[in-house]
A and B are shown apart, each in its own frame.
Chain A
Amino acid sequence: MNFDILFLLPIVAVGLAAAIHATAYLHGEALLHRPRFWGFFLATLVAMAGVVLAPGKIAFLLAWEAMGLASAGLVAFENEEKAVRKATWIYLLACHAGACLLMLAGVLLGRPDAFLAAFFCGIVGFGLKIGFPPFHVWLPEAHPAAPAPASAVMSGAMIPLGFYGLLRFFWPQCHLAPYATPCGWTLLVLGLVGALGGILFALPQANLKRLLAFSSVENMGVIAIGLGLAVLGWDAQPIGALALAGALAHVLNHALLKGGLFLAAGSVLRQTGTLDQDLLGGLMKRMPQTGTLFTLNALGLAGLPPFNGFLGELLIYSAAFAAVRTSSSALITAGFLVLAFLALTGGFAAAAYCKAIGATFLGEPRSQAAAEAVETPRRMWLAQLLLFVLSLAMVPGTIYLARLFGLGTDLLIAAAVFGGATAALAAALIALRRFLCPRGAVKPACPTWDCGYAEPTARMAYTGTAFTQPLADLFNPILHARRHLIPFRGHPATPTDAALVGETDDRALAGFWRPIFTFFARLFQQVHLLQNGSLHLYILLIILAVMALLIAAFVS
């Protein structure tokens, strides 16, 4: 099977939209910095295209490494900030570690009976790009750090290239008999954990782009679920075809929609100077086009009908149903796991996007910057519109894809038709409402009622953090949110401002990778004693080494 075109599409589409967006996004940048952005941006796109078009293993690895490097240049664009430099480093490490493992996988692939080893190397190597937990560490760091058009390209088009790699190098064998079980389960479990974990961590994030980054982890998880199911169920069609089609449709949906969302986040940042959702709010009024497009894209990505995101998930759900219907206990288990996890993920995703929309665009502005924001230049939201329109085209696109896989399309067509019916009915009801309450009657006249408070202010409103707090509390054993109260000081009659501040760090970074890195750094420092400056020690080392070599010579 050849997946090239499928993965080239997002590169072109998101690349184009991001480029349009960037022309305005960079407007405030110093003139000298812009060529740097464009250089890295184009290099990234070229390298990504190179990954897909690479004619051989070596060319693939070359393009892969180049892609990481070029995009690291994008991440480092605003390197005056420490967080950006840290993110760049983490990203570089992730890219390079991935590339190293891919080289190893390349070595192993050439051997006759090392396919599984190669697969595991590959899954970690590509997983470092895709963002399987716990290899996703770079995503929540690098996405907020990079300029929005870069994040859009990276999240929308680059991350899924990991799946492209997996499909290109491992698909021909991994869905066959002896390998299907381990490979499929690996993908499936990674996908389940990634999907649920990603969205769980997305939920309490205050930084909009960090939220989107974690939700990318979720989306990649969903794709992995689809792939895993496809591998497991390839021999029990139509499970395999359904799941694979679903996964691939989700690749495209995610690319277009997440690209649009990141661009919108960029617009917000450019117009307000912050991404902290607790300082935003009320932007739907001030940036109506951006806000509307963000809402629509989020709807699509939450997988809700009538948008295309639903169709991809529908295919995966159908695969899971089909798996449950089989007689194989492994497939039944897989099916149930997928159903439960995907449903939970869907619910959380809806919650997370509600939060993102609500906290960023709805209500009253919570800061001066948000209050003074105005709509972006036209081309910035036109870029998002472009992606949204393309994503609508994915509705027939998904049906076409399903047909390519030889699947019945009733399911999808019905979903599309009734999705359309929803839209039509909604339009009818809106018309009815307009008829019942003419425009004059709905003129906004008063502040929000708020149960009788005379002067409701934005500070009373629910912030994004407050909105997600119940769910975040429920899952705090996993999230390990840091909360601290800034108590008021002074006399109770004239208190200073008090606040409850909460942050949810990435557990994989804080709880897993950092200790490992620190451990090795400490260990290495013990070895540094060998280079203590003493000539005597140095010469002793030489003598000992020569003796060891001599012994080896005489023993061998």
Chain B
Amino acid sequence: MAENQRILVCAGTGCASSGALPIIDILIDEIKRQGLEETVSVVGTGCQGFCEKGPTLVIEPQQILYTRVKGEDVAEIIEQELVKGERVERLLLVDQETQKPVSSMADINFFAKQHRIVLHNCGVIDPKKIEDYTAREGYKAIEKALKEMSPEDALEEVKKSGLRGRGGAGFPTGLKWGFCRATPSDKKYIICNADEGDPGAFMDRSVLEGDPHSVIEGMLIGAYAIGADEGYIYCRAEYPLAIKHLGIAIKQAEEAGYLGDNILGSGFNFHLKVFEGAGAFVCGEETALMASIEGKRGMPRVRPPFPAVSGLWGKPTNVNNVETWSNVPHILRKGAEWYTQFGTEKSKGTKIFALTGKVNNTGLVEVPMGTTLREIIFDIGDGIQGGKKFKAVQIGGPSGGCLPEDMLDLAVDYDTLTQAGAMVGSGGLVIMDETTCMVDIARYFLNFTKKESCGKCTPCREGTTRMYEILDRITKGEGKEEDLDTLENLALTIKETSLCALGQSAPNPILATLKYFRHEYEAHIRDHKCPAHNCSALLSYTIDAEKCKMCSLCAKNCPVNCITGDKKTNTPYVIDEDKCIKCGTCMDKCKFGAVTRA
């Protein structure tokens, strides 16, 4: 039995949704019952990244990962692992290749292939304790900056690191800070953009939940370098846990003298507030975000003037996102030279991706820039669920695009992705298989952007709706041959004439799918078929009376009760097409292959 063991239970939003929180309580009770409280401690951490397998917990120092843990498993884990020093095999991860349980995190591809800089503390420390953060070199970077570096030095270091904005466009961070620093003003602001709105991206949330102090420290350094004394963290109200942890962290940092006036006796002042966003994707755009803090409709405004010249309340303002800020303390502590060893020539460091969709290991992964899509999806992500065939990966959310299989060896960085018609964006990677319809995906994203368009400029307001309508008609089999030209023309106009990045990138999902999957559009239009068997209007389900054993399973499971039949009267089971919502449940449930889809 090892001395001083720690049990790290993931309490991020994903695992909490899977029931992690009661497990912490049960663990504590059980440890007490076993009299182990002197040597074993339980820590509720932020996201450990492996959402698919949640709730997860890690035993330290052995680095043993348990997955899909339930309350009733706790006693067994403690008995086996902590008392006897043996594994509970059924709760270990099974390697898809070898089909053997893997116990050590070092042997799990999901973790082994990552390189964690920003996520360095996530899942390892208790985010509610500043001492956990300081114990892992936390706030050393700002101390170093205040004691050993001038603001210019700090700025120079960030410039040299080659760090680029992780929010999407990849603008060089040091350069951006420099603009704001160069604008003379009695007051400057810095803002952390934590309005992570891309559906399918949750890295910022995980960092805020799991390591809030790293963001605060990054902002402190930025404020020092730029000459700002007030900051905001604009966080979505949909992230209650992140807001809570930020609140605790700010209070602790104030008490510890890292925030407030005359920080660490240096004469440098910095005050930080959390602003809860009220639910608008467009507020991820920096001018809309500032309008929102000012209490207005979150409508972007024309740039220039850029925020570095005239931002929040007309003062010079610098906005970076969570992941960007969180990189900064590491850069300052370990130096730009250390940082530049990661990544590609023009994209330095690492990037966090939210790996979701039809992939085996969904979760949060941090890899050096330049890692190929294939490595991320097949090594870390462990390939496609259910042995299906990979079709495409959607990168960068509603602003990004879908890339097909032959681009899997693309090394991911800002420039290569943009060239390929996608973008890094916030870093959502949604994996699609043969059952995903690419027209439907484009329609899905346009439905999203049309709802989230602020309505200010004509092309985005009117155009996204028209593009959606055309796509919707195509998925219903009502498309016309000329629709593709209309779509393409409209998409290009919207791209070139919209006011902000939301509109300018809204057509990307269409342009990329048209580029790589045009045949799917044509199949919908010409043959009235959805090759992925996804678009319900183009599907019909029928029951093959010969194969049907009248078990009634389909009828019982039908959510809309549209299947009738009776074994007693020998009435065959049939599907009422008018009522059917084409959910496919009957087909999934049928054990005899009697339900067919056409």
Q: Do A and B come from one complex?
A: no
Residues of B near any A CB (own CB < 8 A): none
Residues of A near any B CB (own CB < 8 A): none
